[in-house]
Amino acid sequence: MVKKAVSGEQVAAKRGGLVKIVAGSGGFTLMAVLVLVTISGIGLIAASQSWRTIVQREREEALLFNGDQIRKAIASYYTSGASGVEGAYPQRMEDLLKDPRFPVIQRHLRKVYPNPLDSEGKWEFVRDGTGRIKGVFANRKEKPLKVKQFAEDYSEFENAKTYADWKFVFVPGGPASNPAAPEQTGGEG
């Protein structure tokens, strides 16, 4: 069986003129595709902004939790001096993991919680007059998303203009002055 060559006009006639409509649309299809791409791009930008906000809120929550844990550990260290000697802040963060003032291991913090706003997880320190650590903060100049409904101990954060204003500092007689007893273990851990 021999097949006949079919011309473009014959195909158009067989399809009821559909090809003529598309071919004669004068660029309407191209414009429709460009509008669709533009709308999709705007949607992706909106989703990206929304995702960025979600991630930032999670980092803020981690900052509040991690900073609070460190402040409570500093309070525990300060109030539980060896042989009844109290009132000293730690010299290093590692002193919170293993208090060098005791013959047995005494832990005020299970791990050094990272700063979630720093790519390396490092904190900036608030130091007393002797250079000992009495608190930590994230040295970031961005404006926090959270501006109210802080825990009572951190109500001053409502006035913060940047994350650097969120300082997790132990002040004797202030919040977290009566921390839970530090964890004691008998062996090296």
Q: Is the pLDDT of residue 153 over 50?
A: yes
pLDDT, average across residues 20-33: 69
Average pLDDT over residues 59-65: 95
| pLDDT over 70 percentage in the chain | 75
pLDDT at 48: 75
* Stretch among 9-18, 34-43, 114-123, 156-165 having the lowest mean pLDDT: 9-18
In sequence order, which residues have a C-beta less than 8 Å from that of residue 150 and are 6 or more positions away? 64, 157, 158
User: Model-level pTM?
Assistant: 0.69
* Ordered DSSP codes for 44-80: HHHHHHHHHHHHHHHHHHHHHHHHHHHHHHHHHHHH-
